[in-house]
Amino acid sequence: MARVLMLIVMLVSGTATSQLPEFSQQYSQRLGGAIDALEEVLADFKRDASQFGLSVREAIARQKASEDPFVQARGNSMAVVDARLTRLKEQRADLQRAGPVERLVIFARGFDPKLARATAQDFAPAVPVTIAGLLSAGAGALVGYLILNLLFGIVRLGRRRSKVSD
């Protein structure tokens, strides 16, 4: 019975983790779309700023220094857009340079929460036929095996202690 349970846990955990490379791929696709959208917003802002002889940073600083709360809020939101665009571009560059397994580490280390939520909502599982998918599945199966082995060990230890105290 324990071996059947072990096999089931390994299959479930391996199957779940095998989807990480596909999730990362779908996240990367959304990342490109988000960068395009933010670049468009920033290009419009830059065009407006340049009409008044300002750089993007100068225009944002002017908005943030305004007495008008609406204009201040708009300056803050443009600063967030500018910072997020820079962060997303850096992540895309890191992902493009990385190998398949390293992409998972980069994704886990610095994913964008908004993009990750949107990716999760539309996520379509895929069969893991890549090396990264197979390695990910194997790692998940191993983790499932180790966790279940640990739990079985705790149960056995508890039984031994209760037999000794009898």
Is the dihedral angle over the CA atoms 148, 116, 73, 75 positive or is it negative? Answer: positive
Using one digit for the tens of pLDDT, what is the confidence trace for 4-54?
Answer: 777 777 777 777 777 777 888 888 999 999 999 999 999 999 999 999 999
For the chain, give the percent of residues with pLDDT over 90: 45
Residues near 114 by beta carbon (within 8 Å), at least 6 away in sequence: 34
- As a whole number of angstroms, the distance between CA 72 and CA 67 comes to 7
> Is the pLDDT confidence value at 164 over 70?
no
- 137, 16 Cβ separation under 8 angstroms: no
Count of CB atoms situated within 10 Å of the CB of 79: 16
Angle at which helices 56-65 and 20-51 pack, to 10 degrees? 80
- As a whole number of angstroms, the distance between CA 2 and CA 112 comes to 40
Using one digit for the tens of pLDDT, what is the confidence trace for 127-155?
Answer: 666 677 677 777 877 888 888 888 888 88
